[in-house]
Structure 1
């Protein structure tokens, strides 16, 4: 489902080149659930963005469902994301001029899915926000915005779901509800789940755990398939 070979990410700063990710190679099988853990600033979110095609690698190769992300321009990556990928952003990334319902409907409408409004309404009910469907993001709490973002990621039943701190802004009750939705999707429709989290209990629910430290990825559970390469 996901295959990477020696991917790196380097950015230019006022002090010169900064290498955020060291060469990383690893595999994610279809239907797996993977947790990426590590300290803030270790490169977790950068790696997630590269895997989802939201950013470009500096070097190396990424195959996403056998398609070469590293060879695609932004238009091609956007097409692939629309067809196969869901992404839960830590910072929500909601469209401020759209209601909660319209935000959830948006990817379904872009992808041409039938009954986008009906699907969105059902998913908002699942995340406990049907009563806030016609509110705008600035009328919602941080936790409510997070649940809208999660509902938006679910609507297309993506083959691959990437989640950056999916429960970071939620209270205990809503965290449990969202975690269950994540793993239900993983189990029931075979969605491959790759998430970044500081929540050790959430990480333990995944089939594998990987650790990022200073741009290096290592496997912390199961046979080693994630390697660092110098």
Structure 2
């Protein structure tokens, strides 16, 4: 299994007491699968995605990412696992404004000590159709172009698993379709496991499986429910 959780919960302490964000969650994702996590805003989707990617620590339970026990690791150890195995695409792109598109893509490869990082970044730029825009800074790129740079950055280290949080949420329909095609093309070509959070029913429908998040609880969306929803 690429991802396996056992009774994972997340809670936070507030002035009014403990707030339970995630109820006990058990989920398994095979290598190479594409999985969409759907649900209303505030249901806990992004919280779960952050836990699965090792960006946050569980309150209780166990998370295994490619056999690595994220729940038992401190931030430094989780960061090492992320660097070796994980790519992450944020809705807000999260590009470094002082770096060009090419430099943004190179960054994780340089941190990981990848040889020929510049050449690999140039190849990644070409793969997302932005070879002529490598010297531009993020504020000189459209939203769709910035998201494609973010995808190239996430894929440059050839991660085993890619997490995407509303990857088409800030894009118009045309750019959303282009980014969607790019995500699944790269997923198939590299055999990368893809887990995404989305409100986009068409994007979710292209995934192998859908998981529904409601009030912190996660359930599988069956084929019958998927047909009814469509």
Contact kept in structure 1, 2:147 and 2:179, CA below 8 Å: no
Q: What secondary structure, in the 3-state scheme, does the structure 1 residue paired with 2:139 have?
A: helix
Partners of 1:135 and 1:210 lie apart in 2 by 38
Match of 1:19 in 2: 20
Query: 1:128 deviation in Å?
Result: 3.0
Q: What secondary structure, in the 3-state scheme, does the structure 2 residue paired with 1:21 have?
A: strand
Query: 1:115 deviation in Å?
Result: 1.7
Q: What secondary structure, in the 3-state scheme, does the structure 2 residue paired with 1:184 have?
A: helix
Partners of 2:67 and 2:115 lie apart in 1 by 27
Q: What secondary structure, in the 3-state scheme, does the structure 1 residue paired with 2:159 have?
A: coil
Match of 1:74 in 2: 75
Contact kept in structure 1, 2:144 and 2:176, CA below 8 Å: no
Partners of 2:105 and 2:81 lie apart in 1 by 19
Contact kept in structure 2, 1:127 and 1:177, CA below 8 Å: no
Query: 1:137 deviation in Å?
Result: 2.2
Select between 124-133 and 11-20 the one with higher mean Cα deviation: 124-133
Q: What secondary structure, in the 3-state scheme, does the structure 2 residue paired with 1:162 have?
A: strand
Partners of 1:170 and 1:122 lie apart in 2 by 24
Query: 1:222 deviation in Å?
Result: 5.4
Q: What secondary structure, in the 3-state scheme, does the structure 1 residue paired with 2:219 have?
A: strand
Q: Which ranges of structure 2 fall in alignment gaps of 5 or more residues?
A: 225-230
Matched, 1:98 2:99: yes
Please give the root-mean-square deviation of Cα atoms over the aligned residues, in Å.
Answer: 1.6
Match of 1:220 in 2: 221
Match of 1:7 in 2: 8
When normalised by structure 2's length, the TM-score is: 0.91
Match of 2:158 in 1: 157
Query: 1:178 deviation in Å?
Result: 2.1
Aligned residues: 223
Contact kept in structure 2, 1:10 and 1:58, CA below 8 Å: yes
Match of 1:127 in 2: 128
Query: 1:33 deviation in Å?
Result: 0.7
Partners of 1:88 and 1:62 lie apart in 2 by 20
Contact kept in structure 2, 1:150 and 1:166, CA below 8 Å: no
When normalised by structure 1's length, the TM-score is: 0.91
Contact kept in structure 2, 1:56 and 1:70, CA below 8 Å: yes
Contact kept in structure 1, 2:144 and 2:179, CA below 8 Å: no
Partners of 1:143 and 1:190 lie apart in 2 by 24
Match of 2:119 in 1: 118
